[in-house]
Structure 1
Amino acid sequence: MKRATINDVASAAGVSRQTVSRALNDKGEIDGATKQRVLDAARELGYRPSRFARGLVRPDTTTIGLVVPDLLNPFFTEVAAAALEAARSRGWHVVVHATADSAEEERGTLKVIGSQVDAVVGYFTLAETELDRHTRGMPVVLIGRDANAGRFSSIVIDGRQGVRAAVDHLVAAGHRHIGMLDHANRAGPSERHAWFCEAMAAHGLTTAVTGAQQSVDGGTEALTTLLDAHPGLTAVFTFNDIIAIGALRSARRRGLKVPDDLAVVGFDGLQLGTVVDPALTSVALDTKRIGALAVEQAARLLDGEQPLLGDELVVTAALTVRESA
């Protein structure tokens, strides 16, 4: 598909190029009805103002915006490194922004990069209608979330079977009292929490869950809270590996041996998990594939090629057994 031009928008809206420019730049010289007609035409055609005409970059340069919640979390650092490598192989530039897992920061980031990049890939919590307003006409690849709007693409993370394998592994080792440290900043229970509850129910087991902040300290504090409330727990599954590493520290402080007294299973499969003691058992994701896949999909959308579809966009997690469980 050929990218729409300002002339296409002007023709569709029945106005001049100058009127299109005024409408898109929110100038006050046109009436509201005309402005809305131009905006509707631009959205319908998928038009975005050229960065090149503004002298922001050379016309032969492609730049994508990579948005992640937290670069201090090694998982997102690994994904970002993979995306940078994939973009570099194409001669592309990448602008990286971290949003602190905040919807308000997401809005601010999109306002900043909206005129600086050709496509956006990353992690967002904003509703798709709001994402559409900020990225009008721009290819957008969402990571770790299903897209309902047809113009967005999604890299889907499927951890259901990996979490089921983790619970099966714990049950086979004799554990019946298994807790979870979930993501504390979500509006409700996470998808990983749902996978965990489903796996526990398959064994006729009930769950004990405590929210944890996304840090080693958060995992340390959350496991203390969980064990104080449920001292009979012998195993814990965590939302991610960073929380799990905090749980390992908390267990040591309580005088618990891992995995003899308490088994710990994380989620992400970070390289960092191989250097902690004991080495972390985790439901692992291929971070290199996530980053590379996001860039490949953005390239296809920018080039007007047939995008990847269905299972091609699914990254499946699998249990990696090490020493902690």
Structure 2
Amino acid sequence: MKRVTIHDVARSAGVSRQTVSRALNDKAEIDGGTKQRVLDAARTLGYRPSRFARGLVRQDTVTIGLVIPDLRNPFFTEIAASALEAARARDWHVVVHDTADSPEREIGTLRVIGSQVDAVVGYFSQSEEEIERHVAGLPVVFLGREHRNPRFSSIRIDGEAGIAAAVDHLVAAGHTRIGMLDHNRRNEPSIRQRWFRTAAASAGLVLDPGWILGANQSVDGGALAFEALHAAHPEITALLTFNDIIAIGALRRARQLGLRVPADLALIGFDGLELGALIDPPLTSVAIDTNRLGTLAIEDVARLLAGDRAAAPEDLVVRGALRLRGSA
């Protein structure tokens, strides 16, 4: 697809190239009506100012925008490290943006990177229409999310079999009262909670609605949520968590409350962080291969940049597998 130029915008708005430049850079030399006409034309045409013309990088360098919700979470740090390594092997540059899991910061990030990079990859909560509005014309690869726009692509995370294996492992150990600490970002259950409910039903377990509680995605969030869950439902003998960070917080608080892990409480996280091997006892988890996830993302960006707009290969999925350590 031919790239829209500043000359195309000028011709559509009926102004000079210099006027387009002034309007896009919010200069005071033009009146409001003209500025709005230029902005409308640029939006309609999907124009993005050339990052090369702005001197941001060399013209022969591919730059990827990597959008991460929280670099303090080691899961995302591991993904970023893998993507950087895969990009380095191609002599590409990667610009990493941390949105702090904020929809507002995500919008701000999209506004910035639209004119700075050749392609975008990462985690997004915004609609595809909103993303397209800010990065029109750019290849986009979603991590952990499905896509509808044929210009976009996705690397899926499938933890269903891993969570089923986790539930089966707990049931085999004699646990029937299994709880879960889910995330609390949205007013709906996560896909991981749905996988847990399906696995529990398949194992013949009946879940008390109170056995599932939301938690902030942090060590402190996991600790607070577990304390509340244990106070309300001390009968729970096993616990799955939305991610390893929540699990580590829950494990710490459980031990502070005098519970033995795994004798009194079996605990299984999700992500398989290397950090989980360093705590006592080491954390059992449904492990995601973050190296494969980051590598696949860069490989799919390369496919899109090469002009391959056909449907992505069916194997663009990273599946979770139960990694047994000492906590369950």
Q: What TM-score comes out, normalization by structure 2 length?
A: 0.89
1:111 corresponds in structure 2 to 111
Q: Is the 8 A contact 2:68 2:99 kept in 1?
A: yes
CA pair 14-113 structure 1, distance change in 2 beyond 3 A: closer
Q: Distance in 1 between matches of 2:149 and 2:11?
A: 23
Query: What is the identity, as a one-letter code, of the residue corresponding to 1:155?
Result: I
Deviation string 1:64-107 (CA, Å, 9 cap, x unpaired) is 11111111100000000001101111111111111111101101
- CA–CA distance in structure 2, aligned partners of residues 49 and 140 of structure 1: 18
Match of 1:279 in 2: 282
C-alpha RMSD of the superposition: 2.5
Deviation, structure 1 residue 250: 1.1
1:96 correspondence with 2:96: yes
Deviations 1:189-213 (A, max 9, x none): 1111111111111123214111111
Aligned residue type for 1:112:
V
**Partner AA of 1:257 in structure 2:** R
253 and 38 in structure 1: CA distance in 2 versus 1, 3 angstrom threshold: closer
* Secondary structure of 1:283 counterpart: strand
Distance in 2, Cα, partners of 1:49 & 1:176: 59
Instruction: Indicate the residue corresponding to 1:230 in structure 2.
Output: 233
Task: Give, in angstroms, the shift of residue 37 of structure 1.
Answer: 5.9
For 1:163 and 1:33, the matched residues in 2 are separated by 54
CA 20–147 in structure 1, closer or farther in 2 if over 3 Å, else same: farther
| TM-score (norm: length of structure 1) | 0.90
Deviation at 1:275, TM superposition (A): 1.2
Counterpart CA distance in 2 for 1:7 and 1:248 is 57
Counterpart of 1:270 (choices 270, 273, 279) is 273
Aligned residues: 320
Between 1:148-157 and 1:176-185, the stretch displaced more is 148-157
Contact 2:244 2:273 in 1 (8 A): yes
- Whether the 8 Å contact between 2:10 and 2:20 is mirrored in structure 1 is no
Unaligned ranges ≥5, structure 2: none
Summarize the alignment of residues 43-54 of structure 1 with structure 2, pairs less than 5 Å apart.
43=46, 48-54=48-54
Matched-pair contact (CA < 8 Å) for 1:71–1:77: yes
1:163 is paired with a residue of what secondary structure? helix
1:80 maps to a residue whose letter is A
Deviations along 1:175-201, one digit per CA (max 9) or x if unpaired, are: 000000010222321111111111111
Question: Structure 1, unaligned stretches of length 5 or more?
Answer: none
Sort the Cα spacing of 1:97 and 1:39 in 2 relative to 1 into closer, same or farther, 3 A.
Answer: closer
C-alpha separation between the residues in 1 aligned to 2:299 and 2:14?
37
The amino acid that maps onto 1:18 is R
Deviates most, 130-139 or 184-193: 184-193
Query: Please, which moves more after superposition, 303-312 or 62-71?
Result: 303-312
TM-superposed CA distance for 1:53, in Å, is 2.0
Conserved? CA contact 1:23–1:35, under 8 Å? no
Aligned residue number for residue 247 of structure 1: 250
CA distance in 2, matches of 1:138, 1:23: 24
SS in 1 for 2:161: helix
Q: Give how far 1:296 is off.
A: 1.1
- For the residue of structure 1 that corresponds to 2:141, the secondary structure is strand
Q: Which range moves more in the overlay, 11-20 or 233-242?
A: 11-20
Q: Distance in 2 between matches of 1:127 and 1:57?
A: 29
Contact 1:264 1:324 in 2 (8 A): yes
